[in-house]
Amino acid sequence: VSAQVCLACCCGSAGCSLCCDCCPRIRQSLSTRFMYALYFILVVVLCCIMMSTTVAHKMKEHIPFFEDMCKGIKAGDTCEKLVGYSAVYRVCFGMACFFFIFCLLTLKINNSKSCRAHIHNGFWFFKLLLLGAMCSGAFFIPDQDTFLNAWRYVGAVGGFLFIGIQLLLLVEFAHKWNKNWTAGTASNKLWYASLALVTLIMYSIATGGLVLMAVFYTQKDGCMENKILLGVNGGLCLLISLVAISPCVQNRQPHSGLLQSGVISCYVTYLTFSALSSKPAEVVLDEHGKNVTICVPDFGQDLYRDENLVTILGTSLLIGCILYSCLTSTTRSSSDALQGRYAAPELEVSSFPFPPGLPLCFTDTEEQQQGKEGPRVIYDEKKGTVYIYSYFHFVFFLASLYVMMTVTNWFNYESANIESFFSGSWSIFWVKMASCWICVLLYLCTLVAPLCCPTREFSV
């Protein structure tokens, strides 16, 4: 029986929970996405190790015949070809090609019974071999300098596209949330109180965050850049709030309100905090001639001295955020939203719109109840696919490029390493600030577009 189970896990369409009776019951659509996410995590961790100078030194000290082994595999005297930004570029090239091939392979699949759907949902062992072969094969690409220069621009475009998709879906999420709860007021007036309470909480978080950043990231003398950025981003939050409730916008979009602008304001506050945290520290001389770090919180300086702790926590948070973005942006509703197709508000009455793509594993449908004594995997795609396979792989393709650019410090790649990645970088700072402003611009476009094109229908 154990041999059959292992064969099913490696070659069949069964999910990982078949391998262990103690694992919870899981849907096929969820187990498939979990396995692809696991492969993605393995490659991201490998990239972080390649960018770590600490790991490289430890390997050189503790692995016997390390230099002989490096020369044997033609990786340089100290395996320098297997570490650094160039190695990460090659590995991410292999992973990006892996997801792009599956994106093409799974185009226009509408049910899970076709041969291509079985390939997508199974053969995990062979997929792992394929992923490893593609990542390894990238090291044998001829004319490495030309490849790295060209691939860097491809990675930058893909990374910005990944950020753009997430910002579009955030704006869509804000509109959907307000539309759902506003529709719920027709049957229950308590939804008005819920709307007011959540809106108050959102604006309290945004206002409180900006005030705290003004206290900890500015000083009476100096920190002019931080003061300007906080003032600009705070003014943008006020602007989108006023536009959202302006009479001209309300006439064209009755569902527009302060809840959406509150969500966007919270996200702007988060990106502002993240950008200021990523900004390189400013060091000045005090009256005694000592170097003093300014424009950063005093309580954070002790934490940043422990590079290993910051690296581990920061890498875990980075992987978690990217996976969350990938898995919540690959459902049919998210794909439709990117194409401008939205569900009618009357179909969404009073349902709190958790981020799309997060399956409720603790709820049982009638089919699941009947099969509780059956297999560990619930085949929930017999009638049709739960998510769009090709779009799922395309998002992970873009995420591979985003990881490549982020781990290698975007455009400061030559001096990048994972230990100093979380201590401050101008590239990361400006990428986050640009994301903040683009998010505001996208939201303003959804408000202003119906006014600029009154003859065209807009559904948000």
Residues 34 and 135 occupy one common structural domain: yes
pLDDT value, residue 384: 74
- For the segment 430-443, the average pLDDT, to the nearest whole number, is 90
Q: Report CA-CA distances (Å) from 117 to 84, 143, 380.
A: 37, 37, 13
Q: Do 27 and 380 touch, CB atoms closer than 8 A?
A: yes
Taking the C-alpha atoms of residue 191 and residue 200, their distance in angstroms, rounded to an integer, is: 14
Is residue 224 scored above 80 in pLDDT?
Answer: yes
- For the segment 162-168, the average pLDDT, to the nearest whole number, is 84
DSSP for 243-260?
HHT-HHHHHH-TT--HHH
Enumerate the β-bridge partners of residue 283.
293
pLDDT for 365-387, tens place per residue? 444 444 444 455 666 677 777 88
Residues 28 and 137 occupy one common structural domain: yes
**Overall pTM surpassing 0.85 (yes/no):** no
Is residue 361 scored above 70 in pLDDT?
Answer: no
Taking the C-alpha atoms of residue 140 and residue 119, their distance in angstroms, rounded to an integer, is: 28
Taking the C-alpha atoms of residue 329 and residue 323, their distance in angstroms, rounded to an integer, is: 10
What tokens does 218 get? 């500015």
- The answer as to whether 363 is a domain residue is no
Residues 245 and 276 occupy one common structural domain: yes
pLDDT for 38-68, tens place per residue? 999 999 888 888 887 777 677 777 676 667 7
Structurally, the chain folds into a number of domains equal to 2
pLDDT value, residue 257: 82
Q: Counting Cβ atoms within 10 Å, is residue 326 exposed (0-12), middle (13-18) or buried (19+)?
A: buried
Residues 134 and 232 occupy one common structural domain: no
Taking the C-alpha atoms of residue 79 and residue 53, their distance in angstroms, rounded to an integer, is: 12
- The answer as to whether 127 is a domain residue is yes
- The answer as to whether 365 is a domain residue is no
What tokens does 3 get? 């041999």
pLDDT value, residue 129: 95
- For the segment 81-92, the average pLDDT, to the nearest whole number, is 83
For 122, the domain range is 24-142+303-338+380-408
